């Protein structure tokens, strides 16, 4: 069932909408047409309705200085290019294009005004499906081409939240889409250090000091990045300080694979992630800092961002870096919950 709700405070422009999708089990996901943000995802535990993602109840909070000063991109759909592009530079058909550099000398998550900060068109297309569409015009953040994007959120009766991406563009353009939701199964009572993570990946991308890929893979064997067997995030956090790394998944072609699992023992909540994206960016949230809100500090959530590879337009051995006229970019990610 889908309901059209009102963001509080109700005095905000009525173009900003909030939708609630619920299933027969009492799972409820809330999505706004501002940024296509997943603002809330609640699971019915024995004694409570447990919030398991980081987000706000009011639209005002997403626009506040306290939030934007350290913008953690809570729950937004990120584009045109999620993650980083080295120095914001890409070469298309022999011409170098300079994209805005909003993260030091690099571009991060689409530039100063990415898709997570735009108002999308929303349409209920079924009992459990919400469609959000966006036109990013030629020159938006200096990206070439008229870029049309559709994202569908669907909540199934077996507690699976799916996100389907479909995009076209009338010029060659960099592309990398993701959902930037952060998970915390304790309902904000604890940080994510006791969560256990498992990832089907033998390699991560090798990064430089600015988290720009070198183009090489790095084996996880005998490193803190080996999550091939489920382990607590706290196990190796001291040696790495913070995970912000792209894991190379074993997905092939268009086949959707089970790529990761997150578990928290006290709540007994387990989440499986299925996707056909080639990468999983894991960010443990060391730099989350929403001033004045103690619930949203360091390590208050873990982002598990299924996506293409960062800086892919500048690495010939990385696929999924560009979209071409006549192509349809299609991917999906599904989060299945057990509790």
Q: Which helix (H) or strand (E) holds 288?
A: none
**String of DSSP letters for 25-63:** T--EEEEESBTT-EEEEEEE-SSSEEE-B---SBHHHHH
Ranges of residues in the chain whose predicted pLDDT is under 50: 11
274 token code pair: 């299925």
Q: Which one of the listed residues 106, 109, 180, 320 is annotated catalytic?
A: 180
Q: Which helix (H) or strand (E) holds 43?
A: strand 38-44
CATH assignment of the domain containing 140: 2.70.98.10
Query: In total, how many domains does the chain have?
Result: 1
Q: Which one of the listed residues 109, 305, 320, 331 is annotated catalytic?
A: 305
Dist CA 63 CA 190 (whole Å):
26
- 297 Cβ neighbours under 8 A, 6+ residues apart: 288, 289, 290
- 281 conformational bin, left if phi > 0, alpha if psi -120 to 50, beta if neither: beta
Average pLDDT for the chain: 95
**String of DSSP letters for 83-120:** SEEGGGEEEETTEEEE----BTTBEETTSTT-GGGSBP
What single DSSP character describes residue 139?
T
Dist CA 249 CA 272 (whole Å):
14
Whether residue 180 lies in the annotated active site: yes
Strands 107-108 and 84-85: antiparallel
pLDDT per residue as tens digits for the range 19-32: 999 999 999 999 99
Instruction: Give pLDDT, residue 11.
Output: 45
Cα angle, residue 299 at apex, residues 239 and 189 outer, rounded to 5° = 130
Range of the domain at 217: 2-338
Contact of 236 with 189, CB cutoff 8 Å: no
């Amino acid at each position: 069932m889908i309901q059209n709700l009102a963001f509080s405070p109700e005095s905000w422009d009525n173009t900003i909408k909030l939708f609630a999708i619920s299933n027969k089990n009492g799972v409820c996901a809330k999505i706004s047409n501002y940024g296509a943000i997943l603002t809330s995802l609640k699971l019915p535990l024995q004694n409570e309705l447990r919030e398991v993602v980081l987000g706000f109840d009011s639209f005002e909070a997403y626009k506040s200085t306290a939030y934007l000063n350290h913008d953690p991109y809570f729950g937004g759909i990120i584009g045109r290019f999620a993650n980083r592009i080295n120095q914001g530079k890409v070469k298309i058909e022999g011409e170098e294009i300079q994209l805005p550099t909003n993260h030091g000398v690099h571009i991060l998550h689409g530039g100063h005004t990415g898709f997570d900060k735009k108002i999308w068109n929303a349409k209920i297309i079924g009992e459990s499906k919400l469609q959000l569409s966006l036109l990013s015009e030629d020159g938006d953040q200096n990206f070439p081409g008229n870029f049309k994007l559709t994202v569908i959120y669907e909540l199934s009766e077996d507690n699976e939240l799916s996100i389907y991406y479909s995009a076209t563009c009338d010029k060659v353009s960099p592309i990398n889409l993701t959902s930037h939701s952060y998970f915390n199964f304790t309902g904000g009572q604890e940080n994510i250090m006791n969560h256990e993570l498992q990832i089907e990946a033998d390699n991560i991308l090798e990064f430089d000091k600015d988290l720009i890929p070198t183009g090489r893979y790095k084996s996880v064997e005998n490193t803190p990045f080996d999550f091939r067997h489920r382990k607590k995030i706290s196990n190796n956090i001291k040696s790495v300080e913070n995970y912000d790394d792209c894991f190379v998944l074993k997905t092939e072609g268009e086949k959707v694979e089970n790529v990761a699992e997150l578990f928290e023992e006290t709540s007994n909540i387990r989440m499986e992630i299925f996707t056909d994206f080639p990468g999983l960016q894991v960010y443990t949230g060391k730099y989350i800092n929403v001033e004045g809100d103690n619930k949203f500090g360091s390590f208050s959530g873990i982002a598990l961002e299924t996506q293409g590879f960062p800086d892919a337009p500048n690495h010939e051995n990385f696929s999924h870096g560009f979209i071409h006229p006549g192509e349809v970019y299609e991917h999906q990610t599904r989060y299945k919950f057990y509790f």
